[in-house]
Structure 1
């Protein structure tokens, strides 16, 4: 049975209180070039803030608090991932740093005739192991297999995200984003049991608090490189 209209209004008013207007979210991520991705990020951020207020309102405890924390981490980690991916691809896809991120050196086995291979085996030996003729080739990675940690490192090299000082404390923003993302990867019950992961409320709060310097740093870098105008 649904809540009464009065109850729903009270809940909606509480959750919406002190949250920004819609245009603020639109402006916050206006550097995202992909229209659909921009829309999706805005929706995710708005919904995440609303959900936080809802669970705050019921003073969530025990399993409900764990559920809240897990989903806050999941949401913010997904936003960090989408923004970094978009920023690197759309603005810095022509850089050497991005090219290095998307390529790796692999060994490629050479197929040679059997008789020549037998001669090679007689001439070459290493610790009793078979010697296989091959060469090195630089190949493009499968985009879906590029590790998020490597994307963060590339963003650091390019100066998109970096360390900053807060109240005299040095905050390594790229490393903290990696930490948030690593917890996100453990958010399913089997992994949680295997890794004995404890989802902490402070980490979910950190995931939210770091969004401010994260977005500010990106906009500052894009503006410096002539790729973004806040007006």
Structure 2
């Protein structure tokens, strides 16, 4: 059942009273993103993340509830970071060499040898009781969804879009996010703490600042 009106109004006043103004988003929140739908969605995700955090903060969450607070923050903020990284690489800078290296990667292609020729080479193509297969390397396009996140972050670093500390933090936060599966969390014995959520929050703004500055340099040059 819903809160009574007085409690409802107090909660809304508390959580929404700490959100940035529209001007702040226009000037500071990934202003280089020209895809209006994407940018609006990122703003919504950011606002929702802040609202959820303020609710947990108001409850002074601890124990199991604190775990929910931190995991929610990490998941939502890292989703923003990942979407921005994808936009930068595959929309704005797709022609840059580090991005091309992501999109076209060396793959092994097996050479199929006719049976009669294979029989002639049987002795040479067997080692330690195992058959040796023949492959050659060639660069092939790769599905963007198959590219690892750490590779994409490293490409941003090599393009001088982000510094080494931000690169390290983005990769670490993504690893945190991937432990949302309970089995993975228990296996890694990960200790969720407030610093995780705080780092995820700070790196959303930090990524915006660094990308805005570095992209301005790209335009100048």
TM range (shorter): over 0.9
**Alignment match, 1:71:** 72
206 and 131 in structure 1: CA distance in 2 versus 1, 3 angstrom threshold: same
SS at match of 1:139: strand
Matched ranges for 1:8-87 at <5 A? 8-27=8-27, 28-87=29-88
How many residues of Structure 1 are paired with residues of Structure 2 in the alignment?
219
Cα–Cα, structure 1 residues 108 and 62, in superposed 2: closer, same or farther, change >3 Å?
Answer: same
Structure 1 residue 119 and structure 2 residue 120: aligned?
Answer: yes
Q: Identify the residue that residue 193 of structure 1 maps to in structure 2.
A: 186
Aligned-residue CA RMSD in angstroms?
A: 1.6
Unaligned residue ranges in structure 2 (runs of 5+): none
CA distance 1:56–1:127, shift in 2 (3 Å): same
Alignment of 1:1-231 (within 5 A): 1-27=1-27, 28-163=29-164, 172-226=165-219
TM-score (normalised: structure 1): 0.89
* CA–CA separation in structure 2 for the residues paired with 1:5 and 1:22: 27
Q: Deviation at 1:224?
A: 0.9
After superposition, give the CA deviation of every residue in 1:177-215 in whole Å (9 maximum; x if it has no partner). 111110100112222223222211111101112223211
Deviation at residue 161 of structure 1 after TM alignment:
1.1
Q: Which runs of 4+ in 1 moved over 6 A?
A: none
Q: TM-score, with normalisation over the residues of structure 2?
A: 0.93
Long gaps (5+) in structure 1? 164-171
